[in-house]
Amino acid sequence: MPARIFLDNAATTPLDPTVLAAMTEVMADTYGNPSSIHAEGRKARSLIEAARKTVANALNCSIGEVFFTSGGTEANNMALKNAVRDLGVTRIISSPLEHHCVLHSLDAIQATGAATVEQVRIDALGHVDLEDLAQRLNSDDDRKTLVSLMHANNEIGNLLPLEEVAILCADAGALFHCDTVQTMGYYPLDLAATRVNFLSGSAHKFYGPKGVGFVYIRNENIIKPYLDGGAQERNMRGGTENIYGIVGLATALERALLEQDDRMVKMHDLKRYFVDQLRQRVPDVRFNGDTERSHAKVLSVSFPESPKGDLLLMNLDLNGISASGGSACSSGIDVGSHVVGHLHPESLRHTIRFSFSHHNTREEVDEVVRKLGGML
């Protein structure tokens, strides 16, 4: 049976073998509760704190600003909802292209009446309109404001000019929350140089395990626990820590940073090659977003209408190719991209998101393009 071609790395990535080995060792040998003061507990605690230091070094921040969570969804919920509850935020500026965990969190916040939500204008390519953001921030509205914008869009890959947005927020006295789930481990982040108040990451996007992530909370932003319970995570997140998951996250992040440049070169090459091959072989193909100012691993493609167009995803799967029509959602049903629906609603039914890994090859791209030719 031929090997499948996995081009859905924006949804998740395969577990790196070195990460699996590190996690397996912890599962076998480190069974103490990190909150216990005996030798087994202290050993478990030392692994968590070493992992915290790894994340802090990657972000160039203090270890006291890093808190482990169950993933990006919890981290984003924690930042947004606690900023309203504990920091007096009554106005949030975001965009209609954010991940659903942010959009749905904002809906929940707005439904309580605790804060209002504004959506910044998006240009034709799907970038945040920085002039519109600046105007909103510099308006006469004196309410405490938080800006929530993702670093790289998980559907079309567009990259946010992080430093520019951070400066706009700082100058206006606004808090800045950034979802970096797609960029953590791929692009350098320096929080000593770039003023971000809240930032989120998730291990399974950079070849680590599912079910573990982290939130960065700038020291000056004092919030209360999101999950009440014991004194874990310095009284910020109740519940016994996922030790082997946290070790897996740190191991994956260390490896991602070590190989960052090489991985990005490979993914940039694959993405450009795929774009060139599709342009040559598929008339009227369209790429959503900005293929130049975007994440190396994400490519959203709208294919021309055809009798088989509605079955593209299913036919790709049947032919051993994994891709998606939008972000992976909790129901397991691919309902298409809300991002593409916002930018090009007429293309939604014929849009596929391909997302690359450094494990993919040009030969796999050739095979995908060849099989696509028989499906259109």
Q: Report d(CA 32, CA 41) in Å as an integer.
A: 5
- Which of the following is catalytic: 61, 101, 178, 329? 329
User: What are the φ/ψ torsions at residue 179 (nearest 5 degrees)?
Assistant: -80, 110
- The tokens describing 347, both together, are 């293309």
CA distances from 92 to 114, 117, 198, 199 (A): 11, 5, 14, 16
- The tokens describing 6, both together, are 């996995």
Per residue, the 3-state secondary structure of 18-59, as one string, reads: HHHHHHHHHHHHCCCCCCCCCHHHHHHHHHHHHHHHHHHHHH
User: What are the φ/ψ torsions at residue 93 (nearest 5 degrees)?
Assistant: -110, 125
- The tokens describing 131, both together, are 């002039």
Is residue 184 within 8 Å of residue 201, measured between CB atoms? yes
Q: Report d(CA 341, CA 102) in Å as an integer.
A: 17
Q: Checking DSSP bridges between strand 198-202 and strand 213-217, what pairing results, if any?
A: antiparallel
Query: Bridge-partner residues for 152, per DSSP?
Result: 159
Angle at 100 between CA 98 and CA 103, to 5 degrees: 65
Burial class (CB in 10 A: 0-12, 13-18, 19+), 211: middle
Q: Report d(CA 201, CA 253) in Å as an integer.
A: 10
Identify the CA nearest to 374 among candidates 289, 311, 302, 300.
311
User: Has 169 been annotated as catalytic?
Assistant: no
Is residue 127 within 8 Å of residue 290, measured between CB atoms? yes
Catalytic machinery residues: 329
